[in-house]
Every structure is written in structure tokens, then in C-alpha cells.
Structure 1
Amino acid sequence: MLTPRTTTGLPAAESLQAALALIDTEARALFGQGKVADYIPALAQVQPRQFGMAVALVDGSTYQVGDAHTPFSLQSITKLFTFVLALKAIGDDVWKRVGREPSGAAFNSMVQLETEHGIPRNPFINAGALVITDILTTRYAHLDYALLGALRRLTDDPELSWNAAVAKSERDTAHRNMAMAYFMKSHGNFANPPELVLDNYCRQCATEMNCTQLAQATMFLANGGRDLGRDGRPDEQFLSADDARRVNALLLTCGAYDAAGDFAYRIGLPVKTGVGGGIVAIAPGVGTIAVWAPELDAKGNSVLGAFALERLVQLTGWNHT
């Protein structure tokens, strides 16, 4: 367990940085136990043996180790941000079109759509994220810029963008996602042309951040919906405290594909994973943790990322706060 702690109850800088250095050393010993996502050709080109980790605390301090400043493709982590935008836009009406239960199936499975009449189990599997993107496509003429605008504000980085080559690679191979979109449209759960929604969805998934930016961008979920002001910008109530709590609950139960139960057991924090190798975790009242390592396990989650988060909660006890 980390010691000492400051008067705020947060760990002292020296002990937290030492813990990150230890985790970095231990995690890198696991290189080679997974493989990069190869079903998206552009992601198959990512150099596998990389590891970065960043922690942002609610007092405004940040800590990094390894490749924490290397940009990577967020992929399914963006489903968290689009869901939050939809929740802000239409509130509880979102639940008329998507559920909030764990799926227990692969993130790109179509099986449940057949038996559940085109209503996806939750907004973090592909089918659910497509419905969320459809909702936002109706609301925004240029969803890609609306999403980037929110993310640039949360990271204080006006240059944040999406990778056009990755977006095209995804769009060219999005056959299963297109099939899901048309199937849901046949059940009346899709308002826009699937082609347009898929364009938006693939650009969304191709958004790039580094670990430090991702930890900062999710701070509102650790801080009662309130984003911390930086560089002279005041704090902002980005999401209500009640909605932040609800989003965290959904991340805990549904944020790691069909490994959500294992993540809850091993790590005990709300998380969102992505096949780009990133994972973001929320420690309510404490801070956020972002980790990136491109080598994935069979369920599409980062091998080193899951290990690093488990080690961090062992060292900090943040899953008991």
C-alpha cells in the first residue's frame, strides 16, 4: 500500500511516482503475451511493445510513466464520450433505444439483436454505440466536429483530432457494423442512413489521444461531473453529479466488453477499454488512470493495461475508496 498520504487523503507525489515506475518495470516484462488488433489493417501496423500510464488526481496534479505522451487510437473508449454527449442531449430518453445491462457476448456480436428486437444491451458494445451515434447524427450536422469540440475542451488541446487513415481503414472493413446498423433499422431503431452513421462512427473511433490527455478528459467522472479548469480556464460542470455516478456504474458493469465481470473482480473500478490498447479507469473522488499498451488478449483488452490497473489498485487501495 502506498505511503505516505497527503492531508487531502491523496498519495504523496513521490510515492505515487515510485509506484508508477514499479508498475512500468513489471508490465514491460509481460511484452509478447498479446497481439495488436489485426482486423483493422491500420491498427495492425502499430508497434506492439509500447506501454504508457498516466494518473490525474482531483487536486489537479498529474503523473506519467513510459509512453504516456504517445498518441494512440482511442477506438471503443470514444463510446464513453459519445454516450455522455447523448445523455446530455436527450437525458433518459436514451434508454428507449439502448439498454444498460452487460451483454456477456463479444463487443461485435449480432446474436442478441435478433432475440431482443434490435435493442442493443448497452451503449458500449458496437451495436449500442451505433445507436448512440445515430442519435447524435440526428442532433449534429457535423458530429465529428461536435465530438472533437468537447474533447478539445476537456483536454485543453485545440489540435486534438482523428486519424484519417485509421478511419478509412475501419470504414473499408466495417461490414459487420454495417450489417448491425441495417438490422436495427429493420426494427425501427435507426433514424439515419446507416452509411452516414458508419462514416461518423469510424471517424469517432479513430480519435487519437495520449494517456495524459485521456486521464484529463475523463476527470469529470471522478469529480462529481465537474471538469477541472486548467491554464486559466475555470472549472466546468460538464455533467451532473447524478449522471456522472450513473455513467460510472455503467462503466463498471459494461465497460470491458465481455470481460467486464473479470475487470470488476480484479480491479474494482469503472473502466472503458478499446482495441487500440487503451484503458481508462475512474476512481471517484480520487482521480483517473489511463494506460496504453497495444497488445490485446482474446477479448480485445490490453494485456499490460489490465495488469497495470490491477497493480495500481493493489498499491493504492483506490478500489476501496
Structure 2
Amino acid sequence: MEGKFKRPTNQELLLQEILQEALDLPLSGESANYIPALASINPNQCGIALANLDGEVHVAGDADVPFSIQSVSKIFGLVMAMLRMGDDLWRRVRMEPSGHAFNSIVQLEWEHGIPRNPFINAGAIVVADTLVSHYSASKSALMSFVRGLADNQDIHVNQDIFQSEKMHGSRNAALAYLMKSFANIDADVNDALDHYFYQCSIDMSCRDVARSLGFLANRGVQPHSGDQICSRRDAHRLNAILQTSGMYDQSGEFAFEVGLPAKSGVGGGIVAVVPNYGVICAWSPRLNQYGNSCLGMYMITRLAKKLGLSVY
């Protein structure tokens, strides 16, 4: 239960201290530049939010500045696909760590078009395909779902990043067409890719992300609304895949050092789930060699260690 973790009296003060520690570090990493619209974002922004299960959200720094959530969006798509398809989904995408780059084509060829997990690009494109195939307006359904989870109707897609994604998405298109050749894409490839690029282009703040994913820390029940978003079993499964595959090729190191289910995106966001406690989201655009936010990694690691927030 929540009582097993430390609960500081002033959580915002703690977040502010950790944020300042991060800002005092020597600059390292660079913003993602293969999507030009991401490269134009101010790289010195930094924020962190902690959403507790009692509905409170504590923030520091640029935690209310919207940013491109990129691969963090794969969580939302996966939840929707699991709700709509049930166990049939796992015939088309597995739940194993890939051990390869998140956009690897070679592994997909070896494994006959079945992606290793839903958090690498190929797996997320399969998830997007299921949503396009099962919803008459999949993008509108996704936005409605995300806004409801965050309790914020002002969440939107960044159109500049959306267009930039589509113009520079050749490798993702290659993944999709390869899977199509193995009969693992049902919809038109362009429709599946359009949905995938759209979801990656959603802008949310640290506060929004932390608040929206509270159900993963609460056995599938959204803390601020009391709604049952998914079953306890599905919340368990989602957290398990986040733990093993959510941080690209740094997932093992993150589990070793921090011990929390987490997902990162090349927009600089990282979200970490603390079952029975809450959700942390940190954001800063400069990325390390694995595509994870340098300062985001530092802040979440420091907060987890200070409060003993490990699932192990």
C-alpha cells in the first residue's frame, strides 16, 4: 500500500530541490533532430510533476509547459487496443524486450512481421492499425480518451510536429510495409501511419501526463474520477511491459537503478509509474545516446531514491 513509501511533508519543495540539482548539472545531450520540428524546441526547459493517488499533483519548473509526448503516446494507444481487442492483440504483437533499436527493421524481418513488443515503433504501428480498423474515427477517439484521462479538454495535437513526422517518416513506412507483406497490417498502410504520427504529435504537460496515467498506479482505477479504465490484470500487464521495454535500450539499466515501470519519448518526456503511490512525469528535451531525457532520467532517479520508490 501507499504507506510503504516515504511521503514528504512538502512534496513541491522536494521536487524544486531535485529540479535545481538537475539544472546545476553540466549540459549534456542534444534534442532530437531527425524530426526538424522537435529540434526547434528550447532545449533548456525542464519540469517535473508527481501525481498522488489522492488526486493531488505537485509540480516544479516547466511542468505546465506542453511538449510533444512522442512515444509516451504508445501507452494510450495500447490501452485502447487492449480494451477493444482483448487477448487477440497478443497474436499480432509480443511482449518481449527487443534488444535492438526501437526502429529496427532487421529484427522484424527475422520474426516474420511480428513486433517484439508494443513500445518499439513496429509494435506501436500494429497497435495504431488495430485502432484504425476498429474505430470509425480513431484519431478523434484517441484524443477523447486522452483528454478524459487527463481531465483537460485543452490537450491538442501539435500540427507542425505532425506534418514534420509525416514528411520524415520513411523508416516507419518501411516497417509498416514490411509488416503488411507478412499480413500483420489490416488497414491501408497510410491510414495506420497517419494515426501513429498523429498520436506521437500530441502535446501534453508533465502535469497532464502524470495525472492521465494514475490508473496504472491504482489497479486500473483513475484516482481523480473513480472510473475503472482497465482491469487490474491489464494494469499489471501494462506495467510489466513498461518495466521491461519502456525505456528503449536503457530499460534494463533503468530497472536496475530505479526499479519502476516507465516510458520515455524523444520529445524529452519520461513517465514512471509507482504502483499504489502515484505517477511521476519529468521533461527536458536534451537526450542521451539511448533517446532518453538526460535531466528527466536524473530527476526521476533522484526522486525514486529519496522516497524509496522501487517496486522491488
Residue of structure 1 equivalent to 2:178: 183
Aligned equivalents of 1:263, 1:244: Cα separation in 2: 20
> Which residue matches 1:199?
194
Distance 2:56 2:158 in 1: 29
Aligned: 1:106 with 2:98:
no
- Deviation string 1:155-189 (CA, Å, 9 cap, x unpaired) is 11112111111000000000000011000000010
Q: Distance in 1 between matches of 2:232 and 2:83?
A: 12
Distance 1:9 1:36 in 2: 34
Distance apart, 1:143 and its partner CA: 1.2
Displacement after TM superposition at 1:140 (Å) = 1.0
Equivalent of residue 288 in structure 1, options 244, 261, 279? 279
Whether the 8 Å contact between 2:268 and 2:287 is mirrored in structure 1 is: yes
Contact kept in structure 2, 1:31 and 1:49, CA below 8 Å: no
Residues 1:69 and 2:64 aligned together? yes
What secondary structure is seen at the aligned counterpart in 2 of 1:69? coil
- Residue 29 in 1 paired to residue 20 in 2? no
Query: Which of 244, 248, 252 is residue 261 of structure 1 equivalent to?
Result: 252
Q: CA deviation at 1:304?
A: 0.5
Which residue in the other structure is 2:144 paired with? 149
Q: 1:52 maps to what in 2? A: 47
Paired residue secondary structure (2:280): strand
1:115-130 matched pairs, under 5 angstroms: 115-130=110-125
Q: Counterpart amino acid of 1:128?
A: G
Unmatched 5+ stretches in structure 2: none
Cα separation, 2, equivalents of 1:68 and 1:165:
22
Contact 2:22 2:295 in 1 (8 A): yes
Kindly state the Cα deviation for residue 125 of structure 1 after the two structures are TM-superposed: 0.3
Equivalent AA in structure 1 for residue 183 of structure 2: G
Cα 1:30–1:9 shift into 2, 3 Å? closer
Which residue of the other structure, out of 7, 14, 31, is the alignment partner of 1:11?
A: 7
Hey, what's the Cα distance between the residues in 1 that align with 2:180 and 2:120? 17
RMSD: 1.4
Question: Residue in 2 aligned with 1:131?
Answer: 126
Cα deviation per residue 1:170-212 (whole Å; 9 max; x = unaligned)? 0000000001100000001011111111111111100010000
What corresponds to 1:92 in structure 2? 87
In 2: Cα distance, 1:97 partner to 1:269 partner? 26
Helix, strand or coil at the partner of 1:81: helix
What corresponds to 1:319 in structure 2?
A: 310
User: Aligned partners of 1:143 and 1:296: how far apart in 2?
Assistant: 30
CA distance in 1 between counterparts of 2:3 and 2:279 reads 19
* Offset from partner CA, 1:210-243 (integer Å, 9 cap, x none): 00010000000001100023xxxx4100011111
Take 1:279 and 1:227, find their aligned partners in 2: how far apart are those partners? 20
Distance 1:9 1:181, change over 3 A: closer
Deviation of residue 13 (structure 1)? 3.6
Give the TM-score normalised by structure 1: 0.94
Structure 2 distance, partners of 1:239, 1:87, is 9
Query: Are the structure 2 counterparts of residues 210 and 264 from structure 1 closer, same or farther at C-alpha, using a change threshold of 3 Å?
Result: same
3-state SS of paired residue (2:157): coil
Supply the distance in 1 between the matched residues of 2:262 and 2:284 (Cα, whole angstroms): 15
The CA deviation at 1:32 is 2.3
> SS at 2:103's partner residue?
coil
Return closer, same or farther for 1:40/1:9 CA change in 2, 3 Å cut-off.
closer
Identity of aligned residues (%): 45
- 2:241 is matched with which residue? 250
SS in 2 for 1:272: strand
- The secondary structure found in structure 1 opposite 2:132 is helix
Aligned length: 311
Q: CA deviation at 1:17?
A: 2.3
Tell me, yes or no, if the aligned pair for 2:275 and 2:311 is still in contact at 8 Å.
no
Q: In 1, distance between residues paired with 2:50 and 2:247?
A: 19
The TM-score, its normalising length taken from structure 2, stands at 0.97
